[in-house]
Amino acid sequence: MAVSRPTPAHLSATPADRPVYVIGAGPGGLAAAYALRARGIRAVVLEKADHVGASWRRHYDRLHLHTTRRLSALPGLAIPRRFGRWVSRDNVVRYLENYAEHHELEIVTGVEVHRVERTKDGTGWLLHASGGRELTGSAVVVATGYNHTPRVPDWPGRDGYGGEFRHASDYRNAAPYAGQDVLVVGSGNTGAEIAVDLTEGGAKRVRLAVRTAPHILRRSTLGWAAQYSGVLGRRLPVKLVDRLAGPMARLSTPDLSAHGLPRPDTGLYSRVRQGAIPVQDVGLIDAVRKGKVEIVAAVEAFEDGKVVLADGSHISPDGVIAATGYVRALEGLVGHLGALDERGRPVVHGGHTPAQAPGLYFTGFTNPISGMLREMALDARKIAKAVAKRLS
């Protein structure tokens, strides 16, 4: 279904046939479209799914934001107080729907952009989209999402595993695993929360495979959200934040070394800079201490229908859930434009553009300790300011 509205007369900063195209109708794309519109710039959002917030609709049922309601709102519209401090998945979707409607954003659904390149005259951007469409824009904002394509390690022998195997992107709730022995692979926020959900949902046994022990933080301590500390530390030197975070972690979270989760030997912020976000505790600490979630070594392979762990042990769970993350999958879209680093991540975000691709912007591909939604709200304003300056 396409949602498209007439462009108001005051939106005249871009030629009628060359709007700014925003690829992706998630929070980053919607925020950028609103910020552009607020500056009088026509922005058209292209979304391959049938609805806004497609990736949020696919998340597991119990998911709530780990960032506060107030610091998770997008520009121009607060999240309703009735949604609570920690907003649920369903309410995030409702908020995104309301956001698009409230700001009368121009959104076209069912359109997937495959490739972006410069126009022949070098003055704009040509988007190759589904159905043979070729769209020309004055600038492009890529907001296809951090959690774009599920990543599953190429474990030897996995095809011969006889139990149920799925990526965390396909997990909804614990009901199918009642009475079963389940192995969750990956100790990020998703893996930790799914493991807790399984224990509460009736799984007989839950094990969590951990390669590198994560930093674990209380989501809130005496009313002080961990996100507040993240915001305060966002601009501080990495080593200073590492030194400050150590004592705070020891005060707020117990030592789980006896249960297989030792405290990390690298600093919290150093790990964040490497892409490892701390786990916000929503029950993992208690579940591990009570033995409801067992910590085991990382998965190395599958052999004779069993799972081989890094310590040499073999286990036979009824099911395996791989909470092994996602890839951005931007190579086909913009990989030829010198816009990605060696790991496939955009080299810039916000109001900056790659040196070889002026007019190409990115949002939603960073995951700072201050909160991804907050970062996208900041990016949106910076992008709109930069585009307005370029078009002027």
What DSSP element (H or E) covers 217? strand 216-218
What pLDDT tens digit does each residue of the chain (392 aa) get? Answer: 445 444 443 444 556 579 999 999 999 999 999 999 999 999 999 999 999 999 999 999 999 999 999 999 999 999 999 999 999 999 999 999 999 999 999 999 999 999 999 999 988 999 999 999 999 999 999 999 988 899 999 999 999 999 999 999 999 999 999 999 999 999 999 999 999 999 999 999 999 999 999 999 989 888 888 898 889 888 889 888 888 887 877 777 899 999 999 998 888 888 887 778 889 999 999 999 999 999 999 999 999 999 999 999 999 999 999 999 999 999 999 999 999 999 999 999 999 999 999 999 999 999 888 999 999 999 999 999 999 999 98
Number of domains in the chain: 2
Give the pLDDT score at 16.
Answer: 59
**pLDDT tens per residue across span 41-87:** 999 999 999 999 999 999 999 999 999 999 999 999 999 999 999 99
Report yes or no: 263 and 213 within 8 Å, Cβ to Cβ. yes
> H-type helices in the chain, by residue range?
27-38, 54-57, 89-102, 189-200, 226-233, 238-252, 268-273, 284-289, 331-334, 372-391
**pTM for the full model?**
0.91
Has residue 64 been placed in a domain?
yes
Residues 284 and 176 in one domain: yes
Domain boundary among 307, 322, 337: 322
Residues 49 and 138 in one domain: yes
* CATH code where residue 112 lies: 3.50.50.60
Residues 342 and 277 in one domain: no
Cβ count near 326 (within 10 Å): 17
Residues 301 and 335 in one domain: no
Q: Which of 319, 291, 296 is nearest to 308 (CA)?
A: 296
For 384, the domain range is: 20-148+328-391
The pair of three-digit structure tokens given for residue 62, joined into one six-digit string: 């119990």
What's the CA angle centered on 172, arms 170 and 178, to 5 degrees? Answer: 110
Give the pLDDT score at 108.
Answer: 98
Residues 104 and 203 in one domain: no
Residues 337 and 260 in one domain: no
